[in-house]
Amino acid sequence: MNIHHLELFYYVARHQGVSAAARHIPYGIQQPAISAQIIQLEDSLGTPLFQRRPFQLTAEGRELFAFIQPFFQNLPKVVDKLRGEDRARLRIGAPAAIQQSYLPRLLKLLRRRFPQLQFFLNSGSQEEFEALLLAGELDLAVTSIFSKPAAGLRYRDLISLPMALLLPEKSRIKAAAELWDQDRIGMPLICVEAGDPMCRTFQQELKRRKREWFPSLELSSLDLVAEYAAQGFGVGLVVDQPGERPPAGTRRLRLEGFPDLAYGVLWNGRPTPLVESFLEGAGEIARELKKQRD
């Protein structure tokens, strides 16, 4: 017996007819295909299961429907349970800067709706997060997007932010363009790891402009980049975040003409209610940041 035929019969019996069943089956299938497969089911059982006009289940149809109804009716609940939708558990990938600046507020919002929320955080890059998502080891990732997301993953854009340079307050440089006019940029460049999307985007644009300025100091966080710049050890490469003032002893120069950094959320498959709530909260925070930016 074909289980798919039983599923089609369940929808036909539940919705009292083939045309009504076609409107409610959660995947695309045409009425003639439903009718043909129901006939195959009746042939395999050796008995009609319902009267066509007017619709009415036969005694055999009622018996079969009573047997299969609990299984198909409860199947979505079991699927949700296996997917973890009955548990408020969220495995999140995010770079350290996002974990520090935005996730605490977002997770606090989620806790209002899901008081039993448990969350787990992973640091990494877009490529690392994509591998974990595809392996089922993360539920979502909030990250800067340097390249097109991997096939099979879903993506929602949040915000684009410009890059900026942090200079000592007493520096005579008034605009970033003054650096590009120099034959050789003598000031040390301070940034996070070279593989970070911000550093890669910055170096790509420098290469396009036929300029060279490689990092002298690669640090583990944007906070450290700002601290080293404030201490006068060089020029820091940072994100120009709305509403954030430069550290004492520094001033910020926006990198005019350089590409902005795109930030978004990646996930795999149909989002659970918990993931949907996360996306809503992330979108709300992004809209507030855009207002501050504009």
The predicted structure's pLDDT at residue 158? 94
How far is the CA of 262 from the CAs of 135, 159, 162, 163, in angstroms? 24, 6, 9, 11
Closest-CA residue to 281 (of 263, 270, 265, 260): 265
The predicted structure's pLDDT at residue 197? 87
Residues 31-58 have a mean pLDDT of 92
CATH of domain 89-160+262-293: 3.40.190.10
Domain 163-259: which CATH number of 3.40.50.720, 3.30.70.270, 3.40.190.10, 1.20.1740.10:
3.40.190.10
| CA geometry: angle 175, 177, 182, nearest 5 deg | 115
Residues of the chain with CATH 3.40.190.10: 89-160+262-293, 163-259
Say whether pLDDT at 293 is over 80.
no
Burial 4-21 (b: 16+ CB within 10 A, else e): ebbbbbbbbbebebbeeb
CATH architecture label of 3-82: Orthogonal Bundle (1.10)
Residues of the chain with CATH 1.10.10.10: 3-82
Residues 195-204 have a mean pLDDT of 90
